Amino acid sequence: MLLKRENILLVDDDIQILELLQRHLKSMQYHTYKAVSVKEALFILKDTKIDLLITDINMPEVNGIQLVKYAAEHYPHMPKLVVTGFPSVEDALNVIKSGATDYLTKPFTKSELEAAVKKSFASVPSQKSISTKTGKPAANVYTDMIGESEAFQKVAEIIDRVKDNRATILVQGESGTGKELVARAVHYTGKFARAPFIAVNCGAIPENLLEAELFGYTKGAFTGANENRNGFFQAANGGTIFLDEIGNAPLSVQNKLLRVLQEKEVTKVGSQKSEKLEVRIIAATNSDLEELIAKKTFREDLYYRLSVVVIKVPPLRERSSDIPLLVVKFARKYGIEYKDRLVRISQDAMGILERYSWPGNIRELENVIQRAVIMCDGEITLQQLPDTLKYKINFPKKSLKTLREKEREYVEKVLSLMGGNKTKAAKILDIDRKTLREKLK
């Protein structure tokens, strides 16, 4: 009789249970693979197409629940059947919550196993989707900023208070949190919105050129200065200049910035004549400026001038309730750009995106969604999300052993499980009794 096409992976540290499961499933014409640990199971899952996972819960090092959680995110369409010796309601709920399709209580009969396997194959859940057409309405939208969390509301409240005046603002936050978006929101939602907004990355301009780029220069001021030229400050006159990565500005530039803040005027490189300007300065940094002050690389008086109003942009992990709004926004944006249509998101995929800590913040989230939209066929599912976001199994660290030591451990384990019966142990190990005796020596 021909075997069925379905491949079933059996995971249990009890050799007898593995043999029993394999015999029963083989008589049902299923292909089977065996693993005595979660680590071994992961190797098989990686290299083999598995249609059903059957795993025990209680195993050494890493338990079966972690394997089920891992499989639920890395192999979402594969049903997971858990074999448990603890049939309490609480355990059953934990098993199902972890992503298992069903559970089977020990001891079980062949017919009970067959029914559970058929039920598992028949009950693969369909992926529910979240539409990007409507999405959940945001409490606040400032240009490209979006959110409704308490942390977002605090930022929005400060923006409302400063948008119509020229107070100097220091925006602090980790890389990727959207500090420039905050600066743009301050500018474009206030009464100076029609005036220029000039963004300057102080860390991207070489130190020897930063002063000339910011304040302009006169003809002949330095080699290559063939004409008079205005700087970013002159271009921002009447509006806002945004100085990103201000902590990277050299002390010579910091001195001139201090004069701009104090006197409201700038002097071009190579000129003795100052120019009056009316410009709002918004600086941003992901560095600890107080630490730079202690190292004498940042002027303390400039710090106090810049921090008249401080806006601390929270990292994404502190405003996780905003993640669905941002996901819908980016999926809509890139769906239209790359697919000419709206892209949906499965609930399972959204759950992973909400759980992840996002060390790269909103920039990292946008990059993930951008890639997922490109790779998907109209719906973002678990398959389009990178493995770095998904559940990881942290195996206990152990010292490395030789192949001889590992072989000895396994032989002794099988012999112990067989009650010292060398004939049975040799059969399971697929060696003869003579070879087993030699190995035991």
Domain of residue 427, CATH code:
1.10.10
**Pair (296, 325) in one structural domain:** no
**Pair (412, 307) in one structural domain:** no
Total domains in the fold of the chain: 4
Percent of the chain residues past pLDDT 70, beyond the cut: 93
Per-residue model confidence as pLDDT tens digits over 377-417 = 989 999 999 999 998 888 777 666 778 878 888 888 888 77
On whether residue 2 sits in a domain, the answer given is: no
Compute the distance between CA of residue 239 and CA of residue 192 in angstroms, rounded to an integer: 6
Per-residue model confidence as pLDDT tens digits over 159-199 = 999 999 999 999 999 999 999 999 999 999 999 999 999 99
Confidence band for 230, pLDDT divided at 50, 70 and 90? very high
On whether residue 68 sits in a domain, the answer given is: yes
**Pair (252, 328) in one structural domain:** no
Structure tokens that stand for 220 in this block: 């002949």
Confidence band for 314, pLDDT divided at 50, 70 and 90? very high
Confidence band for 143, pLDDT divided at 50, 70 and 90? low
Q: Which of 316, 339, 370 is the last residue of a domain?
A: 316
**Pair (204, 265) in one structural domain:** yes
Query: Torsion angle, CA of 12/13/17/20, rounded to 10 degrees?
Result: 80
On whether residue 304 sits in a domain, the answer given is: yes
**Pair (115, 19) in one structural domain:** yes
**Pair (306, 344) in one structural domain:** no
**Pair (306, 352) in one structural domain:** no
Per-residue model confidence as pLDDT tens digits over 189-223 = 999 999 999 999 998 999 889 999 999 999 888 88
Cα-based distances in Å from 285 to 46, 121, 187? 43, 54, 18
**Pair (61, 114) in one structural domain:** yes
User: At 166, which CATH number?
Assistant: 3.40.50.300
User: At 89, which CATH number?
Assistant: 3.40.50.2300
On whether residue 212 sits in a domain, the answer given is: yes
Q: Which residues pair with 32 in a beta bridge?
A: 8
* Mean per-residue pLDDT of the chain: 88
**Pair (181, 286) in one structural domain:** yes
On whether residue 145 sits in a domain, the answer given is: no
Q: What's the domain range around 25?
A: 7-122
The pLDDT of 277-286, averaged and rounded, is 95
**Pair (264, 363) in one structural domain:** no
On whether residue 143 sits in a domain, the answer given is: no
On whether residue 394 sits in a domain, the answer given is: no
**Pair (36, 165) in one structural domain:** no
Compute the distance between CA of residue 378 and CA of residue 371 in angstroms, rounded to an integer: 13
Query: Torsion angle, CA of 242/184/317/375, rounded to 10 degrees?
Result: -110
Q: Which of 286, 316, 346 is the last residue of a domain?
A: 316
**Pair (14, 116) in one structural domain:** yes
Per-residue model confidence as pLDDT tens digits over 49-68 = 999 999 998 888 888 889 99
Judged against a pLDDT cut of 50, whether residue 139 lies above it is answered with: no
Per-residue model confidence as pLDDT tens digits over 326-368 = 999 999 999 999 988 889 999 989 999 999 999 999 999 999 9
Judged against a pLDDT cut of 50, whether residue 25 lies above it is answered with: yes
141 vs 172 pLDDT, higher one: 172
Q: Which of 269, 291, 316 is the last residue of a domain?
A: 316
On whether residue 334 sits in a domain, the answer given is: yes
